[in-house]
Each structure stands twice: as C-alpha cells, then as structure tokens.
Amino acid sequence: MAQGQFEFFQMRCFVAVAEELSFSRAAARLNMTQPPLSRQIKILEERIGLVLLERSNKYVRLTSAGESFYHSAIDIIQRSEHAILNARQAERGELGNVSIGFVPSAAIQFIPLIAKRMAELLPNVGITPIEMMGYEVIESQRSGRIDFGLTRMEQPRGEIERFRVVNEPFVMAIPESHPLAEKTELTISDFDGEPFVSFTKDRGGFLMETLTAMFLACGITPQTRIEASQTHAVINMVNHGLGFAIVPKSVQVMRLPNIVFRDVELPKQFRSDMYLVTKSGQESALHERVKSLIIDTLAPFRESD
C-alpha cells in the first residue's frame, strides 16, 4: 500500500466510528473485529497527520478536525458511488458531450429540435452546436473538431459517413404585396418572368444549382434580381418585397410580417436534401445514440410531403 495517502477503506472505517461513536459497534457494522478497526483509524490519523477522534476509555468524540473530515468523507464516498453510476451511463452512451457543426438554415428548425429531444432523452449529454458554412462542416468533420455535421453538400465518400436525414419539398416565399400572394392555386408557371431572389453559387450554396435545373425543366425563366448566400438573407429580401424565392418547406416556421408561403407542385426529383455527416468507424455508444436520435428527430422532414 503506497505509504503516503490514506485509503478508501480507512475512510469507511472512520465514518462508521464517527457515526457510531464506538469502536466496537462500528466494527460490528463493518463486519470485522475491533482491533483491526482501531488499527485502521490509527493508520488514517498517521497518514493525514491529525487526530480525528478523541478517545478515552468511556467515550469517543470527534475533534474539530474529525468533524471536518467526516463531512468530507461522506461527500467523497458519495461521489465515488456517483462516479461508478456516471461511468455506467457513459458506457451506455448517456453521458458526454457532442459537437454539431451545421449550416445556418439548419438553425431554423433542425438544430433546435435536436437540442430539445436530446434534453429529453439524453439529459446528461451536452450539445455544442457550431454554425458554419457548408464546406466548413466537412473540413471540421475531417479534423475532428466536430462529432456531427449537418450540411446540404453531397460529399465525396472516404472516411466520412453520410446519411440523408432530410428530404423535403420546396415552398414559394412571396412578398405579401405581390399579386401572386392573393392567388390560391399556384403552379410553377405562374412565376415565369417574375422577380426572383436567388442563392449564390459560390461558397458552396447548393440550392442554386438545384433551382436553375428546375426552372429549366419547368420551362420558366424568372427574372433574377438578387443573389444572397444564406437562407436568412434570402428570406429577408423577400420580406422587403424584392421578389419571390424558393426555400425548403422547413423554413416556413419563420413568420415574417410581409411574407406568405405557398405550396406548389414541382417535379418529384426537385426536393431539398440535408445530410448528416460523421466520421466512420466511430464505435462509441454515445455516438451511436446521438446519431440515431438525430435521424429520428428529423424523420418528419424526410417522410412527409
């Protein structure tokens, strides 16, 4: 036994004596005889260099140091029990911390929903959401800075796993002042020649490509007035009457005063995807747990229309 620090067992002995205020009774409680108990207490006192118990033949009393140490001991013993419970939780993937990198448009619904469900189902798992550009999500994933990523980019395979967690229809965002906002049954051809707020193509804006392909397929050519790089910006342009836009349906929970959202029939292949990316070969239980939690949480945005 490393001469220098006291042992756990000695602490338990001390606690028993402190509570019983009797060596014999404490010994009985600890399923041992009195002499070794006395010895353990003595060793404990030697190790910490303090007298913890004042013992004369007829009474046993705690010294001030003993009083203090008793409280500490109770605390430490309890913590050591918690340590085991926590470790067990961690093993089951119910304790820890995960960081999620995500593109700004995921901040509207997906990340809050994930955070909420994590708080419910995995209350002891912390979440660190980090907003970033689509390409950064992949970089950060490779470098290990984040555990999970949410992005719209279809990524070259390799050591990174990818799941399509969102596959939702587009909706039209129309300024309230625009004549089309009145019409109830809209088709895509109604937007031919109308002012359009588009996404930029640079910096990994993926929606742009999808949308131009769709316009081509539907045979319409809106009048592109402005390009913005992120959904937030696009939506705010529309809100100020600068034109209509096409955004993923999940965006429409953002209620802005001068926007109306309208469903519109589009060819089946033109839908908005989002991918969950993760380093493959992560066999941690926590990782698995969170991964399926994210997939489950986003299921409504994948199956519904």
Partner DNA sequence: TTGCAACGATACAGGATTTGTATCATAAAT
Partner DNA sequence: ATTTATGATACAAATCCTGTATCGTTGCAA
Answer for which of 39, 42, 61, 82 binds its own copies (CB under 8 A) is 82
CB of 54 to DNA, least distance (A): 10
CB of 2 to its own copies, least distance (A): 6
Answer for which of 22, 63, 99, 200 binds its own copies (CB under 8 A) is 63
Answer for which of 43, 90, 127, 264 binds its own copies (CB under 8 A) is 90
Site for DNA, rule CB under 7 A: 1, 3, 9, 22-24, 31-36, 38-43, 55-58, 60
Residues with Cβ within 8 Å of residue 136, at least 6 apart in sequence: 101
Residue among 205, 295, 290 nearest 246 (CA)? 205
Calpha distance 24→38 (Å, rounded): 9
CB of 278 to DNA, least distance (A): 24
Contact criterion met (CB below 8 Å) for 130 and 114? no
Q: Which tokens sit at 284?
A: 């941690």
Q: Which does 303 bind (CB under 5 to 8 A by kind): its own copies, DNA, none?
A: none
Dihedral sign from CA coordinates of 240, 242, 243, 249: negative
3-state secondary structure of 158: coil
Calpha distance 229→226 (Å, rounded): 10
Site for its own copies in 237-296 (CB under 8 A): 284-286
CB of 116 to its own copies, least distance (A): 24
Residues that bind its own copies (CB under 8 A): 1-2, 5-9, 12, 30, 48-50, 52, 63-69, 72-73, 75-76, 79-80, 82-84, 86-91, 93, 95-96, 284-286
